[in-house]
Each structure stands twice: as structure tokens, then as C-alpha cells.
Amino acid sequence: SQTIHQWPATLVQPVGSPLSLECTVEGTSNPNLYWYRQAAGRGLQLLFYSVGIGQISSEVPQNLSASRPQDRQFILSSKKLLLSDSGFYLCAWHHPGGGQPQHFGDGTRLSIL
């Protein structure tokens, strides 16, 4: 069966510090991968998605970036965090087409001080 792992679960970072969140998927190949951010009491905001290694599409301009160095690895990064980067970050995967659902990781709660 397929599983998705995100780490760390929680993170507290000072303003201006760098960020690296990692997501890995097991038990499948060639998944589409997604990074979302969920603000408190609000819906999901799509940040990045990837359909293959090295292929990244950005949905919202910001000081975050994403990379996909391996088929089942998706990384969210920032060189200098802003207070507004606080939130709940979710990684998800699915197989495209045919109505296949997305499956989410447990998320990373990021607090910027």
C-alpha cells in the first residue's frame, strides 16, 4: 500500500531563517505531488505541484520554492522566512486522470517568531 511521510511535524523558526520541509511517498511511482498551505480556519491554498522529477509549477508567487530531486521526494524551501509564512503545510500525491483521489500527509505546523 502507498504511504506518504512529511517531516517535521512541527517547526518553530525565527524570521529570516531558512526552511526545508520534506515529503516522501512510498509504494507508488510517477505520482503527481503537491504542496498546500492551510491557514487557520481556512481552506487549502495550492503552492506548488509537480508531475515529474525536476518539473515544478508554482501557483502563487511568494518567497517559497519547491524541488523534486527524486520521483517520490518533494521538498519545500525558503531562503528567508517571513511572518506570513506561518501555517499548516500539507504534501499530497495522486495518480493523474481517472478521478483518482489525492492522499495527504500529516502536515507540518510552521510557526514563525
Q: Is 62 in the site for another protein (CB under 8 A)?
A: no
Interacting stretch for another protein, rule CB under 8 A, among 12-20, 36-44, 68-76, 77-85?
A: 36-44
- CB count within 10 Å of CB 22 equals 15
Contact between residue 19 and residue 13 where contact means Cβ atoms under 8 Å apart? yes
How far apart CA 38 and CA 44 sit, in angstroms, is 5
One of 57, 63, 84, 111 touching another protein (CB under 8 A): 57
Contact between residue 25 and residue 60 where contact means Cβ atoms under 8 Å apart? no
* Contacting positions for another protein (CB under 8 A): 6, 32, 34, 36, 43-44, 46, 49, 51, 57, 59, 88, 90, 92, 94, 96-107, 109
